[in-house]
Amino acid sequence: MKSKIVLDKRNKFLFNSIMKFSCKTQDFLTGLQLVNRAIGSDQVLPILQNILIHCEGKRCTLSATNLEVSIVTSFEVMIENEGSITIPAKAVLHFMQYQQDTEVVLETSEGTQLKIHSKHAKAVIAGEAASGFPTIATIQKETIFSLPVPPLLHALNLVTFACAKTSSRPVISGVFVRLEKGNLILVGTDSYRLSEYRIQVEGLSGDISCIIPARFMEELKAVIALHRSNGEEETDEKKKKSQHIEKVDIALGSQQIEVVIGPTRLVSRLIDGKFPDYQQVLPKEKATTVTASTRELLSAVKRMHYFAKELNNNITFGFTQAGIHLTTKQTQLGRDESTIQAEMTGQENKIAVSSTYLIDFLTRLDSEKVHIELLDKMHPAVFRSQGSETFLHLIMPLRMNEE
């Protein structure tokens, strides 16, 4: 179900009046980069390729939406005349990216023309009246809470990549979020791999269970990163004014989610449906536990992927006291094998898994060591980061390449 978007014809500003304001180039460019992430490829409603610029009081607000994900941000400006206009995102962003002056002046002319000029540059961009831009409705908030940024970013990095990339099964194209015993649990899966991350939260209770589109979570990760990188470039005084983001505020409704990061607000629909009972596929027992260097394992798998990709990305892992022995099957290109050092407890074991999935996972793991748990070749392999019980990654087995 799409977000509740309606067309608002009652804008209090006269669109044929002149809107004029000045601002710092970096503030305007950062705002454009933030909201541009919500621009889609909709050809039916061309105005969705535009960014809404709205000036009132002492702030300029920028908005963009694809009717599923919406991003709104604002920043301080010097306003001579209040007003609104929508401008093609590509045109205004392109001009601002190559604008070298520290300040710019923006003003409308002839109703839907936007003049942008600075000390050494000027442009006129054809826009449209703000009255035709979809209104981004305020959600009906049922649950409100805050999350610290570091664990949230870590969770997003380790979970969203595992979600399904197609919409053939919408419920697994998003991140499943639920609350259990003081932990907010985020889960992503495409049926062949799965990531689960637990964030400990205090003072949060009630029933939280929803599926958030993976694209929204990726945009959230990017917006947080952009805010934090900008904060690092600012002075200590500026950081105290919210540029250095330490937490995000989250509101959940029955059909939507809203996340506020400093001056930026992201809104998205939730995915309807029931998430699969993924806990049924988590192995309840393990026969083998192996600890290896993340860097060495990733290097070996990347090298062997050249041959493995010829046969369903299949790499066979043999776990012994001597280490991990990796092999690929003979192909027209050739074959490869490698042995890396590892610490093993339990019985010797074997399994075949996808080299592509391993590379996706290991490139995101930030611990020096990776723990691998295995029952047998028929059950999924479970991967954990060193010294952490908050995260696990599961990869389903492939058919063994046994000669």
User: Do the domains 5-136 and 282-395 sit in the same CATH topology, yes or no?
Assistant: yes
The matching CATH number, chosen from 3.10.150.10, 3.90.245.10, 3.40.50.1970, 3.30.565.10, for 143-269 is 3.10.150.10
What is the 3-class SS of 122-189, one letter each residue? EEEEECECHHHCEEECCCCCCEEEEEEHHHHHHHHHHHHHHCCCCCCCHHHCEEEEEEECCEEEEEEE
Cα(254)–Cα(363) distance, rounded to whole angstroms?
35
> What average pLDDT is seen over the chain?
89
Q: 215-246 burial, b for 16+ CB within 10 Å, e for fewer?
A: bbbbbbbebbebbbebbeeeeeeebeeebbbe
* Res. 58 pLDDT band, cuts 50 70 90: very high
Q: 142-175 burial, b for 16+ CB within 10 Å, e for fewer?
A: ebebebebebbbbbbbbbbbbbbeeeeeeebbbb
For the chain, the domains span 5-136, 143-269, 282-395
Confidence (pLDDT) at 228: 75
Mean pLDDT of 178-196: 95
At position 87, the amino acid (one-letter code) is I
- Whether the full predicted model's pTM is greater than 0.75, yes or no, is yes
Close Cβ partners of 280 (under 8 Å, ≥ 6 residues apart): none
Q: How many other CB atoms are there within 10 angstroms of residue 350's CB atom?
A: 17
CATH topology for 5-136? DNA Polymerase III; Chain A, domain 2 (3.10.150)
Confidence (pLDDT) at 402: 56
pLDDT tens string 214-237: 999 999 999 998 887 765 444 444
Close Cβ partners of 365 (under 8 Å, ≥ 6 residues apart): 158, 294, 383, 385
Cα(156)–Cα(363) distance, rounded to whole angstroms?
14
CATH topology for 282-395? DNA Polymerase III; Chain A, domain 2 (3.10.150)
pLDDT tens string 107-160: 998 879 999 999 999 999 999 999 999 998 889 988 999 999 999 999 999 999
Cα(7)–Cα(46) distance, rounded to whole angstroms?
14
- Portion of the chain with pLDDT greater than 70, in percent: 91
Mean pLDDT of 316-321: 95
Count of residues in the chain:
403
Q: Helix, strand, coil % (nearest 5) of the chain?
A: 25, 40, 35
Q: How many other CB atoms are there within 10 angstroms of residue 133's CB atom?
A: 25
| Tokens 């309807």, residue located | 272
Mean pLDDT of 365-394: 94
